[in-house]
Amino acid sequence: MAYLTQSKLAKWREENKPKHCPILNDRNSDWVVDHDHRTGMVRAVISRMGNSLLGKIENYLYKRCGQSPQNFPTILRNIADYLEREQTDVLHPVGLTQLTKRFRNNLTSDEQYSLLRDIGASEEVLDHCTNSKHREFLFRKLTKQQHQ
Whether residue 125 lies inside any domain: the answer is yes
pLDDT in tens, 45-78: 999 999 999 999 998 988 888 777 788 899 999 9
Exposure letters 46-84 (e unless 16+ CB within 10 A, then b): bbeebbeebeeebeebbeeeeeeeeeeeeeeeeeeeeee
CATH code assigned at 47: 3.40.1800.10
Same domain as 55, residue 15: yes
What is the pLDDT, as a whole number, of residue 148?
86
What is the pLDDT, as a whole number, of residue 1?
81
Whether residue 1 lies inside any domain: the answer is no
Same domain as 27, residue 64: yes
Domain that holds residue 33: 7-69
pLDDT in tens, 80-119: 999 999 999 899 999 999 999 999 999 999 999 999 999 9
Nearest to 49 by CA among 24, 25, 72: 24
CA atoms within 13 A on the CB side of 65: 13
Q: Give 41: exposed, middle or buried? Use CB within 10 Å, 0-12, 13-18, 19+.
A: exposed
Whether residue 80 lies inside any domain: the answer is no
Whether residue 82 lies inside any domain: the answer is no
Same domain as 102, residue 63: no
pTM for the whole structure = 0.72
Average pLDDT on 116-144 reads: 95
Domain count, the chain: 2
